[in-house]
Amino acid sequence: MYDAIFAPFVEFSFMRRALVGCLALSLGATPIGVFLTLRRMSLTGDAMAHAILPGAALGYLVAGLSLGAMTLGGVIAGVAVAILSGLVARTTVAREDSSLAAFYLISLAVGVVIVSMRGSNVDLLHILFGTVLALNDEAIFLISGIATITLFGLAVIYRPLVIECFDPGFLRSVSPLSPVAHYGFLVLAVLNLVGGFHALGTLMAVGIMILPAAAARFWTRDITHLLIIGVLGAFLSGFVGLLLSYHASLPSGPAIILTAGAFYLLSLAFGPDGVIMTRLRPRRHLEA
Report pLDDT digits (tens) over 225-282. 999 999 999 999 999 999 999 999 888 888 999 999 999 999 999 988 888 877 776 6
Report pLDDT digits (tens) over 132-190. 888 888 889 999 999 999 999 999 988 888 888 777 676 677 777 777 887 888 889 98
Report pLDDT digits (tens) over 94-140. 666 677 777 777 877 887 787 777 656 556 666 777 778 888 888 89
CA distance 150 to 142: 12
Task: Let me know: does 60 contact 119? Beta carbons within 8 Å.
Answer: yes
b (16+ CB within 10 A) / e for 190-219: bbbbbbbbbbbbbbbbbbbbbbbbbbbbbb
**Whole-prediction pTM:** 0.87
Looking at domain 2-280, its CATH class is mainly alpha
> Structural domain boundaries of the chain?
2-280
Task: Let me know: does 125 contact 115? Beta carbons within 8 Å.
Answer: no
Task: Let me know: does 195 contact 142? Beta carbons within 8 Å.
Answer: yes
